[in-house]
Copies of this chain bind each other. A is one copy, B any other.
Amino acid sequence: MKIVPIILCGGAGTRLWPVSRESMPKPFIKVGGRSLLQRTWDRARTVPNVVHSAVVTNVAYSYKVAEELMDADSTTSTSILLEPFGRNTAPAIALAALWARAQYGNDVVMLVLPADHLIDSNEAFAAAVQAAAEMASESGRLMLFGITPTYPDTGFGYIEWEAAIGNSRAHKVARFVEKPSAAKADEYLAAGNFSWNSGMFCFTAGAILRSMGALAPELLAAAEAVVANAPLDGPQVAFDAARFEKLPNISIDYAVMEKADNVAVIPCGFGWSDIGSWKAVSEIHTPDAAGNVTDGQAIFVNSKRTYVRSDDRVVAAVGVEDLVVIDTPDALLVAHKSASQDVKEVVRTLREQGNEIYRIHRTVERPWGTYTVLLEGPRFKIKRIEVKPGAALSLQMHHRRSEHWIVVEGVAQVTIGDETVTVNRNESRYVPLGAKHRLANTGKETLAIVEVQCGDYLGEDDIVRFEDRYGRLQ
Chain A residues packing against B (C-beta within 8 Å): 17-18, 299, 301-302, 310, 313-321, 323, 325, 327, 329-336, 338-340, 342-343, 345-346, 349-350, 355, 357, 374-375, 377-380, 382, 384, 402, 404, 406, 408-409, 425-426, 428, 430, 448, 450, 452, 454
Is the CB–CB distance between B382 and A374 below 8 Å?
yes
**10 new A-B contacts at CB < 8 Å, known A380-B450, A450-B452:** A316-B332, A318-B333, A318-B342, A318-B343, A319-B335, A320-B339, A375-B384, A406-B452, A406-B454, A428-B430
Residues of chain B lying within 8 A (CB to CB) of residue A408:
377, 379-380, 452, 454
Tell whether, in the assembled complex, residue B377 and residue A374 are in contact, meaning their CB atoms are under 8 Å apart. no
22 examples of A-B residue contacts, CB within 8 angstroms: A299-B346, A301-B349, A302-B339, A313-B331, A314-B331, A314-B355, A316-B332, A316-B333, A317-B335, A318-B335, A318-B339, A320-B334, A320-B335, A374-B375, A374-B382, A377-B408, A380-B409, A402-B426, A404-B406, A408-B454, A426-B454, A428-B430
| Contact in complex: B380, A342 (CB < 8 Å) | no
Chain B, residue nearest A328 (CB): B313
| Residue of B313, B340, B350, B450 touching A318 (CB-CB under 8 A) | B340
In whole angstroms, what is the CA distance A316 to B342 when docked? Answer: 11
A327-B18 Cα distance, complex, nearest whole Å: 16
Complex Cα distance, B313 from A299, in Å, reads: 21
Whether the pair A315, B340 counts as a contact (CB closer than 8 A) is no
Residues of B within 8 A of A318 (CB): 333-336, 339-340, 342-343, 345-346
Q: How distant is A458 from chain B, measured CB to nearest CB, in Å?
A: 11
In this complex, which of A310, A316, A338 has the most chain B Cβ atoms within 10 angstroms of its Cβ?
A316
Q: Count copies of this chain in the complex.
A: 2
Contact A334 B350, beta carbon cutoff 8 Å: no
Residues on the B chain within 8 Å of A448, using CB:
377
Q: Which residue of B lies closest to A340 (CB)?
A: B318
Query: Which residues of B are found within 8 Å of A321, using beta-carbon distances?
Result: 336
Docked pose: A349 CA to B318 CA in angstroms: 12
In the bound complex, do residue A331 and residue B316 qualify as a contact, i.e. CB atoms below 8 Å apart?
Answer: yes
Question: Is the Cβ of B379 less than 8 Å from the Cβ of A382?
Answer: no
Asked if A302 meets B374 with Cβ closer than 8 Å, knowing A320-B335, A382-B382, A454-B425, the reply is no
Do A343 and B316 touch (CB < 8 A)?
yes
**Residues of chain B lying within 8 A (CB to CB) of residue A338:** 319
Q: How far is the CA of A384 from the CA of B404 in the complex (A)?
A: 15
- A332 B355 Cβ-Cβ under 8 A: no
Shortest beta-carbon distance from A316 to chain B in Å: 4
A334 and B357 form a contact (CB under 8 A): no
- CB contacts (< 8 Å) of A327 on chain B: these are 332
Q: Least Cβ distance of A313 to chain B in Å? A: 6
Q: Smallest CB–CB gap between A74 and chain B, Å?
A: 30
B336 and A377 contact, CB distance less than 8 A: no
The residues of B that contact A18 with a CB separation of less than 8 Å are 316
Residue pair A350, B314 in contact (C-beta under 8 Å): yes
Inter-chain contacts of A450 with B (CB < 8 A) = 380, 382, 450, 452
CB atoms of A313 and B330 under 8 A apart: yes
Query: Given A345-B318, A375-B384, A377-B409, A323 and B334 touching (CB < 8 A)?
Result: yes
Shortest Cβ gap from A294 to chain B (Å): 13
Contacts of A346 in B (CB 8 A): 299, 301, 316, 318
Which 9 residue pairs across A and B have the least CB separation, nearest first? A319-B339, A318-B335, A426-B454, A380-B408, A319-B336, A316-B346, A406-B452, A301-B345, A374-B374
A317, A409, A450 interface centre (most CB from chain B within 10 Å): A450
User: Which of A378, A379, A426 has the most chain B CB within a 10 Å cutoff?
Assistant: A426
Contacts of A302 in B (CB 8 A): 339, 342
Q: Distance (Å) between the CB of A341 and the closest chain B CB?
A: 9
Q: What is the distance, in angstroms, from A409's C-beta to the closest C-beta of chain B? A: 7
- Give the docked Cα–Cα distance between A428 and B320 (Å): 49
Return A145 CB to nearest CB of chain B, in Å.
Answer: 32
Kindly list chain B residues whose C-beta atoms are within 8 Å of the C-beta of A336: 318-321
